[in-house]
Amino acid sequence: MRLVLFDIEHAIGTLTLNHPRKRNALSNELVDELLDGFARMRAAEARVVVLRAADDAKVWSAGHDVDELPVSGRDPLGWDDALRHLVRAIEDFPCPVIAMVDGGVWGGACEVVLACDLVVAGPNATFAVTPAKLGVPYNVSGMMTFMNSANIRLVKEMVFTAQPVGAERAERMGMINHLVPAEELSSFTYGMAGVISKNSPLSIRVMKEQLRVLTGANPMTPRGFERIQGLRRIVYDSDDYREGIAAFKEKRPPSFSGS
Ligand code: LCV
């Protein structure tokens, strides 16, 4: 069974997450199929790509596949992690990627959605940033994605509470582009995709890359980067990280000691 469905029509591509049994968790296997899908879209000269889950999905994506997170004192979200590859593929894709979202978006899937260029959500969409629930040290690029997508007050609330934020508040706070009724979600999203697909793909491609370079142009000294990496190592070497992962796998609430 394909974990990602591929479709393209009139230069508008669609990649559909299709692993309901695991709530579209971003496993290495599913991400590999997404990366393949983006490569096929690039070859097919798609002008817009819609990233979505199946119509009946209650969960858009449960985020990183927790079963694939290392607990042996290794960075769980390093450069070569599947989630990192996926976020960069979206950011580097030469045309706009629209996240069409309804249902729950969890953890790293929140970063994936917010790394998309546009987000159109239905009323049942929720967004939860969950590292604190698992004891995970989120990575630098991911935190930049969140900071570039939402007011710092909202970012802090989301990362500290790990609680879902609803679509209505997400739109009100400017974290998503549009909140539309469920029955209009597809027509609205593909209507916007149609408008974009008729504009100059070259101009759009250049402006997307300009915006990527400019939003990433936050000076950080090597000392600052090393400081952050040292802090992250304290977390992924911690008992709390091991407890967060164990609790998830044992389907019980975690009991963090703070060490
Ligand atoms: C592996 C899963 C997952 C999953 N991985 O269905 O952002 S960070 O730093 O935290 C980053 C590291 C990250 O993204 O971590 C993952 C964060 N995700 C979450 O915390 C969400 C975890 N999942 C859930 O809370 C529930 O599964 C939701 C609310 C998404 C759906 O609940 P529902 O009752 O509909 P189940 O929980 O029964 O899940 C169905 C199957 O999918 C597996 C889960 O273990 C179960 O498998 P089994 O049937 O084999 O027990 N599953 C769900 N999420 N992220 N596996």
67 Cβ closer than 6 Å to some ligand 1 atom? yes
Task: Please state, rounded to an integer, the average pLDDT across all residues of the chain.
Answer: 96
pLDDT band with cut points at 50, 70 and 90 for residue 74:
confident
- Give the pLDDT score at 220: 87
Q: Quick check: 72 pLDDT over 80?
A: no
Alpha carbons 44 and 193: distance in angstroms, whole number: 16
Q: Clarify whether 135 is annotated catalytic.
A: no
Q: Is the CB–ligand 1 distance for residue 241 below 6 Å?
A: no
Does the pLDDT at position 254 exceed 90? yes
**What is the per-residue pLDDT for 104?**
98
Token pair 């990433």 in the structure block, residue: 216
Given a cut of 80, is residue 98 above it in pLDDT?
yes
Distance of CA 56 to the CA centre of its chain: 20
pLDDT for 9? 97
- pLDDT higher at 74 or 108: 108
The mean-pLDDT minimum among 22-26, 77-81, 93-97, 110-114 falls in 77-81
Phi, psi of 187 (to 5 degrees): -65, -40
- The continuous run of DSSP H or E covering 29 comes out as helix 28-43
* pLDDT of 216: 85
65 lines ligand 1 (CB under 6 A): yes
For residue range 184-220, what is the model confidence (pLDDT) as tens digits? Answer: 999 999 999 999 999 999 999 999 999 999 998 878 8
Domain boundaries, the chain: 1-182+200-259
Query: Quick check: pTM over 0.95?
Result: yes
| Residue 23, pLDDT above cutoff 90 | yes
- b/e 28-39 (16+ beta carbons within 10 angstroms → b): ebbbebbbebbe
Residue 232 has pLDDT above 90, yes or no: yes
The residue annotated as part of the active site, out of 63, 103, 138, 190, is 138
Q: Which residue has the higher pLDDT, 78 or 166?
A: 166
Which residue's alpha carbon is at the smallest distance from atom 48 of ligand 1?
Answer: 22
Structure tokens at 187: 């027509």
Q: Which of 89, 99, 93, 108 shows the shortest CA–CA distance to 44?
A: 93
Question: In this structure, are residues 57 and 20 in contact, taking their beta carbons and an 8 Å threshold?
Answer: yes
For residue 64, which atom of ligand 1 is closest to its CA? 14
Does residue 136 register a pLDDT over 90?
yes
What's the average model confidence in pLDDT over 91-112?
Answer: 98
Q: Mean pLDDT throughout 74-83?
A: 92
| Annotation marks residue 236 as catalytic | no
Work out the average pLDDT over 22-39: 98
Active site residue 10: no
- Pairwise CA distance, residues 76 & 114, whole Å: 20
Nearest to 75 by CA among 207, 197, 229, 192: 229
The CATH homologous superfamily for domain 1-182+200-259 is 2-enoyl-CoA Hydratase; Chain A, domain 1 (3.90.226.10)
